Amino acid sequence: MKKNIKKAVLAYSGGLDTSIILKWLQDEYNCEVVTFTADLGQGEEVEPARQKALALGIKPENIFILDLREEFVKDFVFPMFRANAIYEGEYLLGTSIARPLIAKKQIEIAHKSGADAVSHGATGKGNDQVRFELGYLGLDPDIAVIAPWREWDLNSREKLLSYAAEHSIQIEKKGKSSPYSMDANLLHISYEGQILEDPAAEPEEDMWLWTTSPENAPDEAEYITISYKNGDPYAINAKVMSPATILETLNQYGNKHGIGRIDIVENRYVGMKARGCYETPGGTIMLKAHRAIESITLDREETHLKDELMPRYAKLIYNGYWWSPEREMLQAAIDKTQENVNGDVKLKLYKGNVTVVGRSSEHSLYSEEHSTFEEDEVYNQKDAEGFIRLNALRFIIEGKKQPHRLEKMHKNKDNI
């Protein structure tokens, strides 16, 4: 049974799906609709969404278009990169990290406009429905949530187009349309569907919209230096920039040199496997640089514990738990480790590769006098014998108490 909704805030892009959802909400719920369009650096004009919303009867005061690029990078992307977060070894979480910010803004707009519901355009098969709704309910447990894809029977593109034609919803067609389901923001662009549903099929070259193919990238390597303060990049080649400008600039370098393409099959939170292709040019460079500056500024056990916590942290973001107490707890621990992660990292960019070629920091823990292969006066190599024997003590005891272990080893060798 449908809830009695008076006003709903819709995450609105102005595209086919959300334009139909807007009209569907008006008809099915007989409610006032507020539209919210976020500029996350997706590379498309967001202002046309205003005219589309007006054409569908939305009051001017109920149309919100917000430039969130700086907030997105500063408060969401940068904290995630302090953790070196990667999901299942490859995915840099470009879509996942945008959803909690969109959810936050929808709730803020709902409170400002007096709305009692929020709505999104995510399907019932994917991760985004979970990410949006965990965000909504984590920030406002009393808000009503409307997920049209779980309610209506418009479950094909043909039905959506028919609905649009029936209700005179104008769907613009700009140039050559892509057959893929895509999501883009300052951190990445993703591709799903069509030929990619066969995990054995190689994607066509013209699918990739951002990056030059590594084969066609410049034949000459390019060097850049990224400067860090408290684990966040703040300058490129000694030029101080805002967080969003840092990522935009790194995207330009990455796109030019064919950096950041991946093709993966990932495990969705809802249970199925899904094949996706991603371009994350600036993020790929940033991850490499951050690990490099940490390599000289973090203690060994600090580094190893961070690496052990990272998969759990990445999983929380992928599954939509950004606003959970456990993610905030992990973030506090991660941020504590970044207090001395300051300095410069020099990188070489060449045909799809990012290579660290130098790193320096006033807080560096690297000691040349201890690490040198030449003669030194700070390290007594004879000390290593006691260190090794103490660490081997349990093996020594076991070998004396259970000598059959050695016999088993020789027996297995004879059977090979």
Considering the chain, tell me which residue range(s) the CATH 3.90.1260.10 domain(s) occupy. 181-298+340-360
pLDDT above 60: residue 174? no
pLDDT grade for 112, boundaries at 50, 70 and 90: very high
What's the pLDDT at 374?
77
Distance CA 150, CA 163 (A): 17
Nearest to 33 by CA among 9, 2, 4, 13: 9
Comparing 405 with 170, the larger pLDDT belongs to 170
Q: How far is CA 222 from CA 214, 240, 285, 356, in A?
A: 14, 20, 13, 12
Distance CA 332, CA 338 (A): 10
Q: What is the pTM of this model?
A: 0.93
Q: Are 354 and 285 in contact (CB under 8 A)?
A: yes
Q: Are 287 and 314 in contact (CB under 8 A)?
A: no
pLDDT grade for 158, boundaries at 50, 70 and 90: confident
pLDDT above 80: residue 349? yes
Distance CA 82, CA 332 (A): 11
Residues 362-410: tens digit of each pLDDT: 999 988 877 777 777 888 888 889 999 999 999 888 888 887 766 776 7
Active site residues: 17, 99, 128, 181
Sign of CA dihedral 356, 360, 361, 365: positive
Residue identified by tokens 């054409």 is 55
pLDDT grade for 114, boundaries at 50, 70 and 90: very high
What CATH architecture is 181-298+340-360?
A: Alpha-Beta Complex (3.90)
Residues 289-340: tens digit of each pLDDT: 999 999 999 999 999 999 999 999 999 999 999 999 999 999 999 999 999 9
Angle, CA of 248, 250 and 254, to the nearest 5°:
115
Mean pLDDT of 166-180: 69
What's the pLDDT at 409?
67
What's the pLDDT at 175?
42
Residues 15-55: tens digit of each pLDDT: 888 999 999 999 999 999 999 999 999 988 899 999 999 99
Total number of residues shown for the chain: 416
Mean pLDDT of 253-281: 97
Considering the chain, tell me which residue range(s) the CATH 3.40.50.620 domain(s) occupy. 7-69+97-166
Residues 369-382: tens digit of each pLDDT: 777 777 778 888 88
181 Cβ partners below 8 Å, 6+ apart? 191, 192, 193
Distance CA 238, CA 67 (A): 27
Residues 48-81: tens digit of each pLDDT: 999 999 999 999 999 999 999 999 999 999 999 9
What's the pLDDT at 23?
94
pLDDT grade for 3, boundaries at 50, 70 and 90: confident
Distance CA 290, CA 164 (A): 47
Q: Computed over its alpha carbons, how large is the radius of gyration of the chain? A: 26
**Tokens read off for 40:** 């996350």
What's the pLDDT at 373?
77
Residues 267-277: tens digit of each pLDDT: 999 999 999 99
298 Cβ partners below 8 Å, 6+ apart? 306, 337, 340, 341, 365
Q: Which residues pair with 65 in a beta bridge?
A: 37
Residues 195-237: tens digit of each pLDDT: 999 999 999 999 999 999 999 999 999 999 999 999 999 999 9
Assigned superfamily of 7-69+97-166: HUPs (3.40.50.620)
Cβ burial 291-318 (10 Å sphere, 16+ → b, else e): bbbbbbbbeeeebeebeeebeebbebbb
**Cβ count near 328 (within 10 Å):** 12
